[in-house]
Amino acid sequence: MLNLADAVGFKDKFWVLGYSGGGMHAWAAIRYIPDRLAGAIMLAPMGNLYESSMTKEERYKTWEKWTTKRKLMFTLARRFPSLLPYFYRRSFLSGKQSQPVKWLSLPLGKKDRELVEDPIFIEFLKNDIEESIRQGDPKPFVEEAVLQVSNWGFDLTELQVEKHDGKGFFQWIKSMYSQAERELAGFLGPIHIWQGTDDWVVPPSMTEYVRRVVPGATVHRLHGEGHFSYFCFCDECHRQIFSILFGIPLGPLPDIDTLEDPPPSGSEYSEESFHNFTLQE
């Protein structure tokens, strides 16, 4: 990621966006190149399923609605990764099933079940993954599955930690009563996470865990939406996301040449109009 930015000569800070399993790479960017990031956007991000800071209840809620095949995939990735190529060739990469979602062995909530019956979505997903099926190479999928259940080299709890000026018992007592001592250190740029409440692929329990261990992250709930809502099938999702990130759209800009007194630059997108937008959370 950093090498790509340098290769194209992009020297300014940039945003990263991670969807589903891509959230792992966004977390890694926050951990390893925080000085280059302006912020992070994540859509139903997958975390480490065996992270030590995750409680048993959080882990159970993440696994409970998954299909048997999906549970088997992550169990193999954790304990017998050498068997995963066979698993993928017999399922996802076989290309024999009628629906692409079945190839992926994904659990689906109500919204996603309705969506995958739509011929437009089926065609979209087939076009999206047909090259992977044509190549038939399980290696990238094996690497991603193993990464989701392996040690990342860091814990999400390390991304934002409480800042203390000293050590010892008295300093600890002082920090209990001093808000200043509980300021966060680490990556302090904006982290926005969108999560569908009917997502069974990456359940809301995963983002609730993130909210607990990364206090600076802002979680936006999309009520009734699933895992596939973000592609191009949910106008309200996109309206909320873009409004939060870029402000309220006020329609097409006027032709400056026709105005006698053009407004000051940026006046239409004032900070006040941005904060007046409310998002249901």
Question: What count of Cα atoms within 13 Å lies in the side-chain half-sphere of residue 275?
Answer: 3
Which residue has better confidence, 167 or 120? 120
Cα gap 213→157, rounded to integer Å:
5
Model pLDDT, residue 11: 86
φ, ψ dihedrals at 39, nearest 5°:
175, 175
Which secondary structure element, helix H or strand E, spans residue 194, and what is its range?
strand 191-196
pLDDT in tens, 221-256: 999 999 988 877 788 888 888 888 888 777 676 665
Which domains can be identified in the chain, with CATH numbers? Answer: 2-246 (3.40.50)
pLDDT in tens, 83-119: 888 878 877 777 665 555 565 667 888 988 888 888 8
pLDDT in tens, 31-68: 999 999 999 999 999 888 888 889 989 989 988 888 88
Output the DSSP codes for 34-73: GGGEEEEEEES----TT-TTS-HHHHHHHHTTS-HHHHHH
Both structure tokens of 223: 């009520």
pLDDT tier at 164, thresholds 50, 70, 90: low
Across 165-188, average pLDDT: 58
Does residue 125 have a pLDDT over 50? yes
What is the overall mean pLDDT for the chain? 79
